[in-house]
Chains A and B, each alone.
Chain A
Amino acid sequence: AQSVAQPEDQVNVAEGNPLTVKCTYSVSGNPYLFWYVQYPNRGLQFLLKYITGDNLVKGSYGFEAEFNKSQTSFHLKKPSALVSDSALYFCAEKAAGNKLTFGGGTRVLVKP
């Protein structure tokens, strides 16, 4: 069974500080992993994906994510957070049958 875990319900960070949002996955083999962001009253927007290759993946809006197979993690990072990064972030994995499974979400609050 596949599952995606986001251990933190909320992350608070000061503007300009580094931001990390944690995600662990459980699918065996070579996972397809994604990060999506949701702004208030909006649908989900794609940020970045890991399919294969370099463990550090760069995405939209200055975000990047590090794939770590030994720790089964795919943490989202941003070197310098902005107030406008405040949103709900979802980690997801895609397995056989093209089912896309999401974690519970992490709310990010960036304070000025």
Chain B
Amino acid sequence: NAGVTQTPKFRVLKTGQSMTLLCAQDMNHEYMYWYRQDPGMGLRLIHYSVGEGTTAKGEVPDGYNVSRLKKQNFLLGLESAAPSQTSVYFCASSKGLLADFGPGTRLTVT
């Protein structure tokens, strides 16, 4: 049981490049979330999903897209990266009230 895993762990992008962050969970959880963590701002919800094939916007969705084609995977895409998207990204999943978090992806956009 690997829990929640995130790929990659680190990435450096140039402005305008695109990339996809992968989140995978093996706990059969219905709900999955993407957050970004910035100093002094806590974790802010980007997008979330309440089940396979469904996604919804969170607090800071602009500049990001997501897909949940399979129940166990939740992808976060940056179509054209900007320096403001430099952050640590956390994925989480939950079935009931408790959420399990991945280890994070540190993304730097230069």
Q: Which residues of A contact B (CB under 8 A)?
A: 4, 6, 9, 32, 34, 36, 42-46, 49, 51, 90, 94, 97-105
Residue of A6, A9, A103, A104 most packed against chain B (CB within 10 A): A104
For the residues of A in contact with B, the DSSP-based class is strand
- Tell me, rounded to whole Å, the shortest Cβ–Cβ distance linking B55 to chain A: 12
Contact B42 A9 (CB under 8 A): no
A8 CB, min distance to chain B CBs, angstroms: 12
CB contacts (< 8 Å) of B102 on chain A: these are 43
* Interface SS of B by simple majority: strand
Which residues of the other chain, B, contact A49 by a CB distance below 8 angstroms?
97-98
Q: Which residues of B contact A94 (CB under 8 A)?
A: 97
Give the residue name and chain of the A residue nearest to B96 (CB). Answer: A98
Known: A43-B102, A46-B98. A103 touches B90 (CB 8 A): no
- Is there an interface contact between B43 and A102, defined as CB atoms closer than 8 Å? yes
| Nearest CB of chain B from residue A109's CB, rounded to whole Å | 16
Let me know if B78 is at the binding interface, CB within 8 A: no
Do A32 and B45 have beta carbons less than 8 Å apart? no
Which residues of B are found within 8 Å of A46, using beta-carbon distances? 98-99
CB distance from B4 to the nearest CB of A (A): 8
Contacts of B101 on A, CB cut-off 8 Å?
36, 43-45
B33, B50, B56, B103: the one contacting A100 at CB < 8 Å is B33
User: Using Cβ atoms and an 8 Å threshold, which residues of chain A touch B59?
Assistant: 101
> Which chain B residue lies CB-closest to A45?
B101
Bound-complex Cα distance A109 to B102 (A): 24
The answer to whether B42 touches A104 (Cβ under 8 A) is yes
Cβ of A79 to closest chain B Cβ, rounded Å: 25
> Within the complex, what minimum Cβ distance (angstroms) separates A18 from chain B?
24
Chain A positions within 8 Å of B61 at CB level? none
